[in-house]
Amino acid sequence: MRTIRHHVDLRASEQPAAPFLIAPETGAIMTYGELQRASRALGGFLLAQGLQKGDKVALMLHNSYQTARLLIGVMYAGFTVAPLNLLSQRSQLEYVIDHSDTALIFTSEELAPRVHEALGAVQREVKVVVLDPDAPRAIDKPRSSVKKVGAAPHTDLELPLVHEEDDCLLMYTSGTTGKPKGVLHPHRSVVAGGEYTSAAHCLGGEDRVMCALPLYHINGQIVTGVAPLVHGGSVVMPHRFSVSDYWRHVAEHHCTWINVVPTIIAYLLNAPDPRDSGLDISRVKFCRSASAPLAPDLHRAFERKFGIGVIETFGMTETNAPCFTNPYDASKRKLGSPGQAYGNEAKVIDLHTGATQRVGVEGEIMLRGDNVMKCYYKDPETTASTLQSDGWMRSGDVGYLDADGFVFVTGRIKELIIKGGENIAPREIDEALLKHPAVLEAAAVGIADSLYGQEIMVCVVLKPGSRCTADELKTFSQRELGSYKAPKILKIVDSLPKGPSGKVQRLKLLD
């Protein structure tokens, strides 16, 4: 069965003492038996608070032992988990809590003031439980609460039955404009995401992943939360990404694969080689990169420096993370492509007519499969324009498929720069500037122009210790791109605005 409860119960039956999660800061280990016990106790607790099957339970928490336990436990118990983005501004937080119909929020003492502030604009009762994120039994004894709630577990209350099509995850997209959209997933699609990840990467019970991505993002949730549950492996989950601690955690806890975003790859490349300090990272079979395009130069440099192959992939909140992946076999991967459709189907359609494009012809990427979302929550109009009656979903991404079925993503429909009637993909500009030895990150965006309609602006972050002027980089870009695609404006900045996945939010560059 494709339900979270089925897989937790299966693992607890087959390997109750096997670890599911390791919290490196405290050394706490959550076994599959403990995960099952905690999930049942959590279900009783939520029922005792008056919640009913399917009600929304929000998490406003950094990565921790308790965050992972709650993420899985809420779904196990028959409720819908709604992780809150810690990077949200107050207005976004107010909107998501209100729009999602959240009934109860779990948070920490550190983040409780933000929750309390946001609830001031919500015109209904929302219960809040404040807990110690690192405590092994926080539901039994919460440390405090913004609103007083009962804390004793109620394991005698019978949990509701859970089916594949029951809702279990509500994720809000980190869009660059407008209000976030609530992506609603049933158990079927959540488990399918874990299945596709596990099968594509040939993962089994002996595998352990290093997760430094936030659990309020679909990548962290599905790839490093649900997938280990499906294949019986385990996850090492520090509070947050740290350059200085990353490889130490990988080595000390014997991780066999790592899950990153291109930003993490860039930071690791500019840090010392862990082997120089005696750390053994030889158990790592591969590095999985997703959530944003990986520049080929970064890809090559990482593999050269660490001797670890990179499997580039592509996913969306709407598809429960994975929908394209490069093969496990390194000899069959293609640099610059996030791979072939895996588990789901893919095609490319003409942007104007909707006709299926030929091999190599650019258009909008379409997806269909069991991992695709159920709908946009309380937004039938957007759902209807995104999900077609035959199951195909519009991705909003522009790209093409080659003769082997590998996808090449050239941009987002809303991010395309249209200069003098010509479509220019921001990624092409980014990758040209990333070839410069002083550039750590680059992001291009279209700006209004009276002559061409749009011109090109690029914001660049330099590598630590590097020196380079904007004029030097503009000259470099003209050599790489030609005068038409070279940026009219180039700014050197300290950082780029990013969502929780590490994906650059390009339109915020205009603020």
For the domain that residue 44 is a member of, what is the CATH number? 3.40.50.12780
In whole angstroms, how far apart are CA 41 and each of 34, 307, 497? 10, 44, 40
Cβ 73 vs Cβ 38: under 8 Å: yes
Q: Which of these three, 194, 216, 251, is where a domain ends? A: 194
Gap between the Cα atoms of 110 and 130, Å rounded: 9
pLDDT of residue 175: 44
E-strand stretches of 317-405: 321-325, 339-341, 345-349, 363-368, 375-376, 393-401
Name the residue range of residue 103's domain.
4-194
Looking at per-residue pLDDT, the higher value among 331 and 156 belongs to 331
Provide mean pLDDT across the span 323-335.
97
- pLDDT-based confidence at 210, cuts 50/70/90? very high
pLDDT value at 248 more than 60: yes
- pLDDT-based confidence at 501, cuts 50/70/90? low
pLDDT of residue 90: 85
Looking up tokens 């809590």, which residue turns up? 97
| 171 lies in some domain | yes
Q: Which of these three, 194, 209, 230, is where a domain ends? A: 194
pLDDT of residue 498: 83
Which tokens sit at 489?
């404006």
pLDDT value at 204 more than 70: yes
| 385 lies in some domain | no
| 389 lies in some domain | no
| 370 lies in some domain | no
| 40 lies in some domain | yes
| 312 lies in some domain | no
Provide mean pLDDT across the span 102-117.
97
Q: What's the one-letter identity of residue 282?
A: S
Total domains in the fold of the chain? 2
- pLDDT-based confidence at 190, cuts 50/70/90? very high
- pLDDT-based confidence at 88, cuts 50/70/90? confident
pLDDT value at 330 more than 80: yes
Provide mean pLDDT across the span 343-368.
96
Looking at per-residue pLDDT, the higher value among 71 and 91 belongs to 71
In whole angstroms, how far apart are CA 253 and each of 18, 24, 275? 14, 8, 16
Average pLDDT taken over every residue of the chain? 91
Q: Which of these three, 140, 171, 194, is where a domain ends? A: 194
Write the pLDDT tens digit of every residue in 396-430. 999 999 999 999 988 778 777 878 767 687 888 99
- Range 301-338 burial, b when 16+ CB lie within 10 A, else e: ebeeebeebbbbbbbbbbbbbbbbbbbbeeeebbeebb
pLDDT of residue 243: 95
Gap between the Cα atoms of 471 and 510, Å rounded: 20
pLDDT of residue 73: 98
| 502 lies in some domain | yes
Gap between the Cα atoms of 364 and 386, Å rounded: 12
Provide mean pLDDT across the span 478-500.
90
| 137 lies in some domain | yes
pLDDT of residue 511: 76
Write the pLDDT tens digit of every residue in 27-46. 999 999 999 999 999 999 99
Q: What's the one-letter identity of residue 176?
A: T
pLDDT of residue 416: 77
Which tokens sit at 263?
């930003």
- pLDDT-based confidence at 174, cuts 50/70/90? low
CATH code, domain with 451: 3.30.300.30
pLDDT value at 387 more than 80: yes
pLDDT of residue 139: 54
Rg (CA), the chain: 23
pLDDT of residue 448: 83
pLDDT of residue 150: 34
Write the pLDDT tens digit of every residue in 142-169. 444 444 333 344 456 799 999 999 999 9
Gap between the Cα atoms of 509 and 122, Å rounded: 30
Report the percentage of the chain scoring pLDDT > 70: 94
Provide mean pLDDT across the span 363-379.
97
Cβ 397 vs Cβ 367: under 8 Å: no
pLDDT of residue 142: 45
